Structure 1
Amino acid sequence: MGRAMTTLFALLIAVAAMIGNTVAALWEAKGSRLAKYGRLVWLQPWFLAGLAADVVAWVLTVAALRYLPVFAVQSILAGAIALTTLADHGWNPWNLIRRDRWAVVAVLSGLVLVAASAEPERPDALPPVATPVLLVSFALLLVAVPFVWRAGRPMLLAFLAGLGFGGTALAVRAIHPGPIRWETVGDLLLDPLGYGVVAMGVLGVAAFAKALQDGAVGTATAVLSVTEVVVPGVVGIALLGDRIRPGWEGAALLGVIVALAGVIALTRPDPDSQRRRVH
């Protein structure tokens, strides 16, 4: 498969993962609403279907990270909030308030720039310091968990969740940079980064769930989205050899900024609904 086709294929996988995350969010939300009528959320078929969609989306994300830089994959995944917003309004953009319409356009436009700027090639081997730095960082995050949990601040929890999900992406990207074959499966099981994927994933899910319980959904989602795009994106470039196409550095930065600005706008409450609530 040629380089251009590989890039296109990886981008399509990342977009499929974004769609999977959107479907998962919609189904889990429906299951959560039904759970209010007396049944446990874990027994709701819609919620369980959403979890299954999450698993599929995660597998697709892992596949995309084998070929694309962390900043590109994470930025594309952040676009799920735009699709979720559209879905909540019947997939009709004219049902959105003007601010949200422009925000959706910003997210999608930013993602196009990010996708176009990604350099699909990756180094054959990681820098020697990459794995130790990642593992020490993961350990420090886990040490910080009880203190953040005890503080109970939703934004801090959302930030921690973003670092957890970002750490998962970095670990997936860093594991065995060469081609994965049957004979390398044993090496993967012995790679400590594999356990980092699990630990950071659990941390992200738990911290974000706690943040949503105690804080505003929109603000927590914005903090999560910005953190899981910016932090792992920078680390991927600095530590893992992720690269931007020559001459596209400005476009990549602009794309990330525009997309994240749209995400933040979409997580803000509708001013009209707030006004109605006050009156």
Structure 2
Amino acid sequence: MTTLFALLIAATAMVGNTVAALWEARGSRLAKYGRPVWLQPWFLAGLLADVVAWVLTVVALRYLPVFAVQSILAGAIALTTLADHDWNPWNLIRRDRWAVGAVLAGLVVVAASAAPDRPDALPPVATPVLLVSFVVILAAAPFVWRAGRPMLLALLAGLGFGGTALAVRAIHPGPLRWETAGNLLLDPLVYGVVAMGVLGVLAFARALQDGAVGPATAVLSVTEVVVPGLVGIALLGDRIRPGWEGAALAGVLVALGGVVALTRPDPESVRRRVH
């Protein structure tokens, strides 16, 4: 598979994640006034879109570094923020328009800085470190859940989805074959994919129920780029293109600046919800 095709697959997954976030947000908010969220058709449709996007993400992660794929997925922030304002960029205050642009520009640079290859083998410590990290995050999840703060829940969701991406990238390096597919059930990282994925879905659903779509997605997007991206470079052998180290760092800082701006409340702006 060519790098360009893998990038297109990741971009399609980004669109799927955007649709999923919007539908899940609608279902989560309707749950306040009627049936539980798990029985809301809009939320269930969003979960289906999430599944499709996740499958596409898995394919992209077989050929691209974690931080490249996650950076492309984070482009959903532009679409969700616009949707939160009736798809009209002029409904955004100037600060938010610049912030969305900063997030997108920063993440595009991060994606462009990725070297499109994967190592032949992982370091021996990779799997134990990932599994211990997953246990720590899962242990902290109940405390974050009880706090009920949308931005903390979005951060937790970002760690969940980011952990899923790392586990997918780490599982069985190299091409997958039918004769080795059964061995996946013996890999503890497979169960890490499931646990962290469920955590991400639950935490993000709670964040959307109590907060605005755009800011929550901003925190989610950058968290699932920066944290797993750094771990992928340090632990899984993902590489930055030679000479692009400074650009990658600048891209992360610009994107983070945009997220901070998007998460700041503005009393003069009218935050429209997705209906």
Tell me the TM-score range normalised by the shorter chain: 0.7 to 0.9
Tell whether the 8 Å contact from 1:27 to 1:49 is kept in structure 2 after alignment: yes
| 2:242 counterpart (236, 246, 250) | 246
TM-score by length of 1: 0.85
SS for the counterpart of 1:273 is coil
| 1:13 counterpart (9, 14, 29) | 9
| 1:108 counterpart (104, 108, 117) | 104
Aligned to 1:257: 253
Tell whether the 8 Å contact from 2:80 to 2:214 is kept in structure 1 after alignment: no
* Residue 234 of structure 1 pairs with residue 230 of structure 2: yes
| 2:47 counterpart (47, 51, 54) | 51
Query: 1:210, CA displacement in angstroms?
Result: 4.3
Aligned to 2:21: 25
RMSD: 2.7
Query: 1:39, CA displacement in angstroms?
Result: 4.1
Query: 1:44, CA displacement in angstroms?
Result: 3.5
Residue identity matched to 1:263: V
Distance 1:274 1:199, change over 3 A: same
Query: 1:212, CA displacement in angstroms?
Result: 5.2
Query: 1:162, CA displacement in angstroms?
Result: 2.6
| 1:143 counterpart (139, 145, 161) | 139
Query: 1:155, CA displacement in angstroms?
Result: 5.0
Query: 1:260, CA displacement in angstroms?
Result: 3.0
* Residue 65 of structure 1 pairs with residue 76 of structure 2: no
In 2, distance between residues paired with 1:192 and 1:64? 21
In 2, distance between residues paired with 1:217 and 1:28? 10
- 1:41-61, Cα deviation, whole Å (9 max, x unpaired): 434333222111111111111
Aligned to 1:123: 119
* Residue 195 of structure 1 pairs with residue 191 of structure 2: yes
In 1, distance between residues paired with 2:109 and 2:65? 14
Query: Quick one: percent identity of the two aligned structures?
Result: 88
Distance 1:101 1:274, change over 3 A: closer
Query: 1:239, CA displacement in angstroms?
Result: 0.3
Distance 1:249 1:235, change over 3 A: same
Distance 1:38 1:203, change over 3 A: closer
* Residue 76 of structure 1 pairs with residue 72 of structure 2: yes
Residue identity matched to 2:61: L
Tell whether the 8 Å contact from 1:225 to 1:260 is kept in structure 2 after alignment: no
Tell whether the 8 Å contact from 1:11 to 1:115 is kept in structure 2 after alignment: no
- 1:40-93, Cα deviation, whole Å (9 max, x unpaired): 443433322211111111111111111111112222222212111223344432
Query: 1:218, CA displacement in angstroms?
Result: 6.2
Tell whether the 8 Å contact from 2:11 to 2:73 is kept in structure 1 after alignment: yes
- 1:230-253, Cα deviation, whole Å (9 max, x unpaired): 211111000000001111111112
SS for the counterpart of 1:138 is helix
In 2, distance between residues paired with 1:163 and 1:228? 6
| 1:181 counterpart (169, 173, 177) | 177
Query: 1:213, CA displacement in angstroms?
Result: 5.5
SS for the counterpart of 2:269 is helix
Unaligned stretches of 5+ residues in structure 1: none
* Residue 163 of structure 1 pairs with residue 159 of structure 2: yes
* Residue 267 of structure 1 pairs with residue 230 of structure 2: no
Unaligned stretches of 5+ residues in structure 2: none
Residue identity matched to 1:24: A
